[in-house]
Structure 1
């Protein structure tokens, strides 16, 4: 690729070589949201290279679009001790060099970084004179709940991304409001596929021993404290006082790190302590999430962290299932309480149990919420609009860069 090609005036139909950098090796919400947008770019040719920090399910999800390469890099975290800080500095410097060598070798037109937690990739792209787009699908730590050190760390990362990236694509207005530089952000809501309406209710229930006539509540997502599966278990104990046959499905695995593995173990222990262990089904990873939604009578999202978007609720509505969710983060932004879903306070198993029981016992309410909510998802969160908007961001970034320096730096060695 010549420097003249790199600097040519871009169009939305142009063949682009794109490098996409993920901070997790497994498929999460941002990876789902970006898949159709990156697929549209990849199908035009030019090449798509995906970088991941380890082997994981990302390879299966993106392998048909281009190369998926596992490299030994790490997300930036806020150190808690001087020793951790020293290790973080060494790791950060090493990662900048690693990314720079990879980008110089692959020579893309644009770099998409799927997190704010990889400023090393942004610095490497800047040194290689490459335009960058950061997809922001996370909320930063809160001073009230996470402490001053983590809050300050989040603010530093946000400012760093604003300074280094050409554009920040945010998955909600809630996420966009975390940044202060005017013109640096654009909000593009994730698109929700109709595939979630194609689940196998009977097959999933039979596979996991769920009674055909029992009310089933489902929680979908990685087992982490922020997802609040423990609140769902506490709510189940209360629900069963009113609906004795109720069962809870927890679909997902903890991230492979000690804090999440310990939380997952504590949720198992909690179910035993409350005497509902026989009524809680831990499925682990489920490839066809649509089957979980189909098997459920109510889907709950008991998140205690500020949801950047809350796609599980929208997927469930697409599947025709009523939803109870915590009123946190972007959820009240994208879904309306009492019209699309029922919203409850975070960390409130009593309110969660009451809302779930209402939906099970009131078919008219359940049907009204699903009808309104699914219409809203279809009209406001379609995939095609998101694809076009994302392509527009890439084109605008390349057009702005075409007026700047066109030469590339020498090899970093």
Structure 2
């Protein structure tokens, strides 16, 4: 049995030439390549044909988070630029959904570019019909706490970001934003504002592809995991035991929990690593709630090693039923939680039986997740993609992995 804590990230490296990284999206979303992996066999396909490639009676699960314009460029009175990148809300609400609807003021964890030039004065950013002000409250490990106030006070923070923020492209694209990015770095089904990075496996889907899926009797479900900047966080530790996995906020409706429960035994395939993290976290949240049915909502957190330290865990139906019972007792239609779960070789999948995903960076936790699903065959899959001119990373091509 593999011990994921002892995994060395240097064993998950491959040569990714710069010219294989897709710097821009294709003119049409669904014209990307799709590498179909099933039972050890590799076939080159087009993404627009995915409906014909999925197993019958599949439940396809999407992450409907929406990327917010989280980069804010403030100009000091002396002319210098300070960039503030909103990571996650702290007060008065930690829950992203509520923080986005907050009016007048809000405190966020942020990254600050050019911080040494910021002497502590209040910064102001003027936008059409209003002003956003930022105050540096404190410095913490790896980030700052920034207090925002704005006028008109009645505006929700989501609206403020929409008016004066910029979309945060992945750092490895290493280029300026284009007008095209504002639509193309969102999925066509994005709804819940709060991510600072797109769930990129979903970028290939079009309304036409979604229509074809329904015609093929593929069931669709939508949950929300707000993708954080931690998704790009490099693994610097020699072994995974010393890597602190980033936490992300998860929101799943009672209806979707029921859908997943009904489909257990049929193929349940997440679109993207974030959807996979969400579905597997759902199982482990059920495990927690079976152990302690009276957990306070803010105690619903899956720590990264829980799946590897739990002795005789319940079945998937038992775990999901525990969530439904909890939601009934809370009289709530939605489960809100946080997850730090790390899916790596040695992980036993409880819900997912395949994955739609792009091609990920070397030495990343996303590559560990792919390896957990397909084993050492990840090397064969990635080498095939490199040899056959697949485009890599966020704007790159796709794969359908059915081990």
Relative to the length of structure 2, the TM-score reads 0.29
Higher relative contact order (CA 8 A, sep 6+): 2
Relative to the length of structure 1, the TM-score reads 0.29
- By percentage of residues, which structure has more strand? 2
- By percentage of residues, which structure has more helix? 1
